[in-house]
Amino acid sequence: VATGKRNDRKAAQEFLSEAEEILERMRRDHAELEETWAEGSEPDPELVNRLFRSAHSLKGAAGMFGFETLGALAHHLEDVLDALRLGRLAGDSPAARLVGEAVALLGLLLEGLGESGSAGPADAATADLTRRIAEALASSGPAGEPLASLDLDPALAAALTEYEEHRLRENVRQGRHILVVEASFEILDFERGLTELTASAREHGELISTLPSPAGGADSEIRFALLVASGLEPEAFAARLGSASASVRCVLPRRTRSQAASGVSPRRPASPAREGQAPVESLRSLSGMVRVDIRKLDELMNLVGDLALQRAALGEMVERLLADPRTVAAGAELAKQRKLLERKIHALQTAVLNARMVPLRQVFEKLARVARQLRRELGRNVRLDLRGAETELDKLVAEELVDPLMHLVRNAFDHAIEPEPERLAAGKPAEGVIEIEARPRGNHVVISVRDDGRGIDPDRVRRRAEAAGLLWPGQTPTERELLELLFLPGFTTREDVSETSGRGVGMDVVKSNVTALGGVVELDSVPGRGTRATLTLPVTLAILQALVVRAGDQRYAIPLNSVLETHPVARAEIQRCDGRELWNLRGEALPLVRLAREFRLAAAPEPEKSHVVVLGVAEARVGLVVDALEGQQDAVIKPIQGPARGTRGIVGATDLGGRGAVLVLDAASLVEDGLRRRSAS
C-alpha cells in the first residue's frame, strides 16, 4: 500500500509539472488573444488553435491522472475554444469572455492540487463556471452559412475538416475569391514542385487545404488540389503564382463590399479610428524588442554554418593557387580577402549565437515554483537558494535543462534532506537548504545543485550494488566509481521505501538528458553533510569545431572540445596489459578504444600506422584509435530522425561540405564505456 501511495504521489507530481507547463503557455496565448480582441481585430487562427490544443492536452492529462474537476473545466474550456476556432462563436460573445476566467481558475485548481492533493474550495467555483460555459455555449449561434454556393467538387468538399470549412466560410464572409488550384507533379519529384506551389499560394492568399486531387491523371504523376482564398482577381492570382503547370479555377467569385455586408453582418461595428491609429500604436509598442521564433534563429544558424563551410572550400582553393608559381600572386590576394571574410563570418556567428542566448532566470523561476509546491505538499522546511540567474545559455539548452534540474530538486526534497527532528539531532539548523548556482566557464556553463542533507553513504551503495550483481564482493571501486553507479537506470528504486535510500530516483534520467546536450554530470557527497551534483553544459549546441577522422571506410566528426591531443602511433607501440590495449602517454598508461571495433565496422587488418585521439571528459582520459585524421571543420550538429532512437556513442550527424551525412561522436559516452571496460575485461 505504501508503495502504491508513493506512486500516486509521483504520478501527481508528474502531472503537476506537465500541467503547469501547459498552463503557462495558455496564459501567454490568452493574453495575446485578449490583446487582439481589445484592438478590435481578428486573432491569428493559429493562436486560437494553439489554445484549443493546450486545453485538449490538459484535459487528457487530467483524465489520465484522475483529476476530475480539473479535467471537467479543461473540457469545457476546450469546447469554448473549439467553437471559437470553428467560427461558431464570435470574439465578443459572452462565452468567449469566459476563456480568461477559465484559464485563471485552472491556475487556482492546480495550485490547490499542489498543496493538498485535492482541489477543495475551488471545486464550487469550477462547478459554477462550467455551468455558465455550458449555458453560454447553448445560446451561441449556428455554424454559419452553408457552402452550397461553392462550385466545388463534392469529393473535395466532403474531405474538408470542420476547421477548414470554417476558414472557407470566414474567407467568404470577408469577401475573398475562393480558388481551386490544381497541378500535377512527377511522382519522383513532386516534393519540390508542391512546396514551391504551396509557398507561392500562401504568399498571395490563405491556403485552406491541400489534398490529393480526386481528378485522375497519369500513373507517373500525383495531382494535387489546393483550396485557396485570396483578395486577388483569379487572373492576377494565377499570374503571381508563377506556375505554368497549375490551373486556377474560381469556385466563388469575390462579392462586392455591399454584397458581403448585406450577406453577413460584420462581427462588430468597425471603429472609425482604427484604420488611422493602429499602425502608430503598434509602432510605439515595439520598444526596441522583437520576439523571434526560435526556428528562424535555427535557420539563420544553419545559414551561418553553411557559410563557414564555404569558407573552408575557399581555403582549399587558396592552397591550390599558392602551390602553383603562375598563380601565387592571385593566391596571396585571395588569401588576404579570405581572412577578412573569415573575420566577418566569425562576427556573424557570434552575433547569431548571442541572439539565441537567454538568462537562466526563467528556468530558475520554474524551479522556485516547484520548490514552493513541494514545500507545501511535503510539509518540509526547506529553502531554495538560487544564484547566477543572469548566466546565459542557448535557449534550447536552457529548455532541456528544466527536467534534469527539476529531478534534482525533487530528489533533494524526497530523499536527501532529513526530517526536522533528525536534523536537529545531528546539530544542523532546522531549515534545510538546497543551493543552485550557475556560473559561466569559457564555452561551458557549470550548474551545481547542492543540499545540506544526509549525503550518500558509500557502504550502503556498495552493499546494494553487490546485491544487484553490479560489483562482486571484494572488488574495491573508488568512491567516485561508486557514486557513478547511482546513474544506472533503476539502481535504487527497489529500496525506495527505505528512509535512507539516498539518491537514485531519476538520476539516470538526469544523466541521459545532460549527456544528450553534450554535457557531464558529476556527483560528490560527504556522508552526513550533503550532496552536490555538478552539471557542466556547453553554452550552445549549434556550431562546433570538429575533428574529422576516418575508421574503416567511414568518416566521423569528434567535437574538438573533448579532444586534448592527437598522436600518430605504430602498431608496435600499442601494448596489451591485463586484457586491455594501452599506450604510453608521457609515462601514463592511456587505455585505448578502437573505433572500428567499437562500432563493429567491417573487419580490416589492423593498419601498421594509425592515430590516437586523446579524449578528455572532466578528469577521465581515453585514447580513441582511428585510421587517419582528416582535419578540423566547423560542423552544425543535426539530430538524427527516424525510428531507431538514442544510439549510444553518437550525438547526431553533420553534413560536411556536401559530402553526405557524417556521424558526430559522443566523446562522453565513448570515454565512459572505455573506462568501464577496464574492470569487465
Partner 1 sequence: VSADARTANAGWEGFARRAGEQRFGAAGDAQESRGRGAVSALRQWVGVRLENELYALPIESLREVVRLRPITPMPRVPDHVLGIIALRGEMIQVIDLRRCLGLPAAQPRSGARIVVLRDRDDRAAALLVDAVTGVLRVPESDLRPPPGGESSKSVAVCRYRDVFVSLLDLDRVLGRDAA
- 221: contact with partner 1 by CB under 8 A: yes
Using CA atoms, how far apart are residues 517 and 561, in angstroms rounded to an integer? 14
Least distance in angstroms from the C-beta of 315 to partner 1: 22
The correct pick among 55, 109, 129, 207 for binding partner 1 (CB under 8 A) is 207
- 222: contact with partner 1 by CB under 8 A: yes
Least distance in angstroms from the C-beta of 604 to partner 1: 15
3-state per-residue secondary structure call for 90-156? CCCCHHHHHHHHHHHHHHHHHHHHHHHCCCCCHHHHHHHHHHHHHHHHHCCCCCCCCCCCCCCCHHH
Least distance in angstroms from the C-beta of 550 to partner 1: 13
Least distance in angstroms from the C-beta of 123 to partner 1: 28
The correct pick among 136, 160, 447, 507 for binding partner 1 (CB under 8 A) is 160
Least distance in angstroms from the C-beta of 390 to partner 1: 32
Segment near partner 1 (CB under 8 A); pick from 220-228, 246-254, 378-386, 528-536: 220-228
Using CA atoms, how far apart are residues 234 and 251, in angstroms rounded to an integer? 10
Least distance in angstroms from the C-beta of 548 to partner 1: 13
- 546: contact with partner 1 by CB under 8 A: no
Using CA atoms, how far apart are residues 497 and 3, in angstroms rounded to an integer? 7
- 378: contact with partner 1 by CB under 8 A: no
| Between 286 and 680, CB nearer to partner 1 | 680
* DSSP codes of every residue in 455-490: ---HHHHHHHHHHTTSS-TT----HHHHHHHTTSTT
In Å, how far are 117, 129, 251, 264 from 149, measured between CA atoms?
55, 39, 9, 14
Least distance in angstroms from the C-beta of 40 to partner 1: 23
Length of the chain: 681
Q: Cα angle vertex 344, ends 340, 350, to 5°? A: 145
Position 344: which residue type?
Answer: K
Position 417: which residue type?
Answer: I
User: Site residues for partner 1, window 649-678 (CB under 8 A)?
Assistant: 649-650, 652-653, 655, 660-663
The correct pick among 15, 67, 224, 237 for binding partner 1 (CB under 8 A) is 224
Of the candidates 383, 452, 385, the one whose C-alpha atom is nearest the C-alpha of residue 417 is 452
Least distance in angstroms from the C-beta of 195 to partner 1: 9
Using CA atoms, how far apart are residues 422 and 452, in angstroms rounded to an integer? 13
Least distance in angstroms from the C-beta of 320 to partner 1: 25
* DSSP codes of every residue in 173-237: HTT-EEEEEEEEEEGGGHHHHHHHHHHHHHHTSEEEEEEE-SS---TTEEEEEEEEEESS-HHHH
Using CA atoms, how far apart are residues 304 and 325, in angstroms rounded to an integer? 34
Taking residue 404's Cβ as centre, other Cβ atoms within 10 Å add up to 26
Size of the site for partner 1 (CB under 8 A): 67
The correct pick among 13, 93, 200, 209 for binding partner 1 (CB under 8 A) is 209
| Between 409 and 626, CB nearer to partner 1 | 626
Least distance in angstroms from the C-beta of 635 to partner 1: 12
Q: Are 570 and 583 in contact (CB under 8 A)?
A: no
The correct pick among 162, 203, 316, 606 for binding partner 1 (CB under 8 A) is 162
- Give the per-residue contact string, 298-337, with partner 1 (x = CB under 8 A; - = no): ----x-----------------------------------
Of the candidates 622, 654, 634, 639, the one whose C-alpha atom is nearest the C-alpha of residue 556 is 654
User: Site residues for partner 1, window 43-102 (CB under 8 A)?
Assistant: 45-46, 49, 52-53, 56
Segment near partner 1 (CB under 8 A); pick from 61-69, 190-198, 401-409, 580-588: 190-198
Least distance in angstroms from the C-beta of 112 to partner 1: 28
- 164: contact with partner 1 by CB under 8 A: yes
Q: Looking up cell 519529384, which residue turns up?
A: 189
- 191: contact with partner 1 by CB under 8 A: yes
Residues of the shown chain interacting with partner 1 in the complex, contacts defined by CB under 8 A:
45-46, 49, 52-53, 56, 154-164, 167, 187-192, 198, 206-212, 214, 216-222, 224, 227, 302, 554, 598-601, 636, 638-644, 647-650, 652-653, 655, 660-663
